[in-house]
Structure 1
Amino acid sequence: MSKSDIKITNGHIITPYRIIKNGELFIRDGRIEAVSESNIDAPGAHVIDAKGQYVAPGFVDIHVHGGGGSDFMDDSVEAFLTVAETHARYGTTAMLPTMLTSTKAEIIRSLKRYEQAAANNVLGARFLGIHIEGPYFAMEQRGAQDPRYIRDPDPDEYLEILASSSSIKRWSVAPEKKGAIPFGSILRERGILPSIAHSDALYSDVAQAFENGYSLVTHLYSAMSGVTRRNAFRYGGVIEGAYLIDELDVEIIADGRHLPAELLQLVYKIKGPDRTALITDAMRAAAMPEGNSMLGSLTDGMEVLVEDGVAKLPDRSAFAGSTATADRLIRTVRDVAGIPLIDAVRMMTATPARILGREASVGSLVPRKDADIVIFDEGITIKMTMIQGRIVYSSDERIPTNVAEQKITS
């Protein structure tokens, strides 16, 4: 029997398609070995009693900027680690750190900081790579992206950025921008996910982008075109393209502020849980008190006001980022939109894992996958977060120290 054997018992285990009542789960060397409706014989294993609460896959956040008072643009390893540790307390076990529109030099510098942080990330949500959001956006749909740095795709620039790091896994772009279509093809060739974002595209632009590798729509409804008139004729936009192209995945900021219940329900009805990922899109104010804050880096970011559970531009003319954590997303889609818990969890686990091509290791509780696990109660309050068999957060002080101190196996 391995020293790292763990058995979770007396839990309602959430699988992709059912909930196993009072099930058991067995972990060995950081991986799931068995999931059962009956007792698993594991003598000598550390036993964790889930106390009749839910046992779910760890949450996978594929779009997050910050939290706990730090932002990934802060140019420090400590900021990366603070964000990862903050979100782990709310159930996130894997994340895609996201950069805002900025200069080429700042993007490259942040990529280097990411690589340093990834090598030292022990207590927080695992990093799955980097998501670059911008700077190739439509000015009219910039939202809270800094207009000083918005520009068209420049091959000399983006090829230098791509050459500087192998950690880039996703890049959000407005596909109607000059040069955006060939850029998407280049990203796909390199195994990087091109995503449609901050865009004034027509449906025809979206269709062309999809044909050239763009397979995801960044924060659906936020900073994008819908039905518009040109020369008196109506045209569909990005929103209509997201619905009409079945194979396009979408992500939504389900914080209860960015989208009302009826739009959450509409996305769920048309795209379904297998094509919809929940994201926090959280900035540094996540898990922090409301008040004045900063979007982006402390030295060159944008001042924002956090109130009513969301970040706003100082004049309150628009939202400027989310302050959500992953538990809040699941609570919102279940309680506000009436979406079944099993589907809400899938949109925060299996679906984002599949979108990133990481479904072989994370996103569901099945044998041989990494033991990234959360336990939460009926109110979606996180009681325990486990990453690769290592407990990084627990509200129960009775959990044995030797379990909490296990090393992560890669």
Structure 2
Amino acid sequence: MSGPADRLLLNARVVTTEGVLDDGWVWMRGGSIGAVGHGAVPAEAAGADRVDGRGGWVLPGFIDVHVHGGAGHDFMYADQEELRAITRFHGQHGTTAMLATSLTASREELTRVLERVSRFMSDPMPFAQLLGVHFEGPFINVKWKGAQNPAHIVPPQAEWLEDWMRRFPGVIKLQTLAPESEGAADYIERLDRHGIVPSCGHTDATYDQIAAAAGHGLRHAVHTFNAMSPYHHRAPGTVGAVLTDDRITAEVIADGHHVHPAGIKLLISAKGTDRVILVTDAMAAAGMPDGEYDLGGLPVVMKGGVARLKEGDSLAGSTLTMIDAFRFVVREIGVSVAEASRMASGNPARQLRIDEQRGSLAAGKRADVLLLDDLLALQRIWVGGAEMA
């Protein structure tokens, strides 16, 4: 991985928040973006190393807020070298920032996740940057446990949260829970006060319970349609609330297995491309051959790239990468490259309140930059201005 340097990426279609710049260029000045434009380049960038985009696409790096692992490793157990392997794997597929996502586990196991991730974040990270932790559980509904271990499902525990925040301030970025759980309203308010995104998932909540939770600060839904009470025209459930409440931003796993393309089209039609976030929900088997794996202590079998629990046959995360999710919504759903970029980069940055530094291409922001060819194949990747091999 080469270090940050002055680079001028030109002759490309550059995706910005204002639109696509044909004959565009991006000037990466060290670890940040010096300028973005089209046509003539600024005189001060004349000495920069030039990279010919060959008419391809230039996008901000992807931000994955829901990913459990990859390259054979799981965030629940990964040591420092394994964390490096996970971030390298996803970095090679266009993810420049991510949340280490847990599974339902004991308090002690979740605390160890925070310890390991916090330590990893304290050192330079050469690949995809770990921004913190997404706790998916353990405060969920056993009815919709999916690939979560029911032995550790408990109601929200405010004491745990306060202890974690004292010991690991700023590390927890997002937490998923069932809003119908006892004490959930208070817990959601606590998350919000601490600057943590409160999220619903693995929930049997009614439409009214989700609406009430949004009033307490709920503003995110994990893997929409999966592991939540479904829509019915007389009982809209969690899905109905997520589709219709503008306070909630919705994730979707766009791999063609978790959600039918028509479901993804419905989600985007209801929410708009400003309130949908592409995620991988990738587990350890991502990037690995078919075989038997582990997800949070539960045995998983991957066949044909699809991971399912060995017992019960539930989908067990995915083997998706962000570049594949991005391509899927462009090719199969029919959104534009700019809209897909918003769902993969801009929206997660805004949801995590880091959009002043990441998620779009603009002067002063981090130089997390992707170059794709005309067929949307990744050509080159820069993380903080340093090119990944």
TM above 0.5, one fold? yes
Per-residue CA distance 1:115-172 (angstroms, 9 max, x = gap): 1111234321111111111000100000000111111112333332333311111111
2:130 is matched with which residue? 127
Question: For residue 55 of structure 1, what is the aligned residue in structure 2?
Answer: 58
Paired amino acid for 1:31: S
Distance in 1 separating the partners of 2:367 and 2:69: 25
**Matched residue, 2:46:** 43
TM-score (norm 1): 0.90
- How many residue pairs were aligned? 383
Quote the sequence identity (%): 35
CA distance in structure 1 between the partners assigned to 2:290 and 2:50 by the alignment? 39
Contact kept? 2:55, 2:374, Cα under 8 Å: no
- Measured in 2, the distance between the counterparts of 1:277 and 1:81 equals 25
Distance 1:146 1:325 in 2: 24
Counterpart CA distance in 2 for 1:367 and 1:227 is 43
Partner of 2:5, secondary structure, is coil
| Structure 2 residue aligned with 1:345 | 341
Of 376-385 and 144-153, more deviation after overlay is shown by: 376-385
Higher alpha-carbon deviation: 307-316 or 25-34: 307-316
SS, match of residue 195 in structure 2: coil
1:186 equivalent in alignment to 2:229: no
Q: Is the 8 A contact 1:78 1:117 kept in 2?
A: no
CA–CA distance in 2 between the matches of 1:122 and 1:24? Answer: 27
The residue type paired with residue 118 of structure 2 is: E
Please, which of 211, 214, 220 is the counterpart of residue 210 of structure 1?
214
Alignment partners' CA distance in 1, 2:367 and 2:230: 41
Q: What is the CA-CA distance between 1:178 and the residue it aligns to?
A: 0.3
Give the secondary structure class of the aligned counterpart of 1:5: strand
Given that 2:142 and 2:150 are in contact with CA atoms closer than 8 Å, whether structure 1 keeps it comes out as yes
**CA apart distance, 1:374:** 0.6
For the 8 Å contact 1:17–1:342, the answer to whether it is kept is no
Equivalent residue for 1:397? none
- Paired with 1:263 and 1:308, the residues of 2 have a C-alpha distance of 22
Aligned twin of 2:352: 356
- 1:400 matched to which residue of 2? none
Task: Give the distance between the partners of 2:33 and 2:210, measured in 1 at CA.
Answer: 40
**In 2, are the aligned partners of 1:175 and 1:209 still within 8 Å (CA)?**
yes
Given that residues 64 and 279 in structure 2 are in contact (C-alpha distance below 8 angstroms), is that contact kept between their aligned partners in structure 1? yes
Alpha carbon RMSD of aligned pairs, Å? Answer: 1.5
Shift in Å at residue 378 of structure 1?
2.9
Cα-to-partner distance string for 1:382-402 (whole Å, 9 max, x where unaligned): 111111111123xxxxxxxxx
Deviations 1:68-118 (Å, cap 9, x if unpaired)? 111111141122111111100000001111111101011111101001111
State how far apart, in whole Å, the 2-side matches of 1:35 and 1:258 are.
Answer: 37
CA contact (8 A) 1:257 1:309 kept: no
Residue type at the aligned position of 1:283? M
Partner of 1:263: 263
Shift of 1:252: 0.5
Runs (5+) with no aligned partner, structure 1: 394-410
Do structure 1's residue 151 and structure 2's residue 174 form an aligned pair? no
Q: Deviations over 1:253-289 (max 9, x none)?
A: 1112111110111111110110000000110111111
Describe how 1:100-111 pairs up with structure 2 within 5 A.
100-111=103-114
Corresponding position of 1:388:
384
Question: What CA deviation, in whole Å up to 9, does each residue of 1:335-368 have, x standing for no partner?
Answer: 1112222111110010111011011011111111
Indicate the residue corresponding to 2:93 in structure 1: 90
Distance 2:70 2:118 in 1: 19
Distance 2:104 2:333 in 1: 32
SS in 2 for 1:116: helix
Using a 3 Å threshold, how does the CA distance of structure 1 residues 173 and 64 change in structure 2: closer, same or farther?
same
1:310 match: 306
Q: For the residues of structure 2 that align with 1:104 and 1:157, how far apart are their CA atoms?
A: 7
Instruction: Give a deviation string over 1:219-278, Cα, whole Å, max 9, x none.
Output: 10010002469xxxx422110011221221111011121111101111111101100000
Q: Distance in 1 between matches of 2:155 and 2:341?
A: 37
Paired letter, 1:196? C
Whether the aligned pair in 2 keeps the contact of 1:104 and 1:161 (CA below 8 Å) is no
TM-score, with length taken from structure 2: 0.95
Q: Secondary structure at the match of 1:129?
A: strand
C-alpha displacement at 1:11, in angstroms? 1.4
Cα pair 2:244 2:270 within 8 Å, conserved: no
Q: Letter of the 1:64 partner, please give it.
A: V
- Is 1:253 the counterpart of 2:257? The answer is no
Look up the equivalent residue of 1:199 and give its one-letter code: T
| Residue equivalent to 1:332 | 328
Kindly indicate whether residue 275 of structure 2 is the aligned counterpart of residue 275 of structure 1.
Answer: yes
Cα shift at 1:44: 2.0
Query: Larger deviation: 144-153 or 38-47?
Result: 38-47
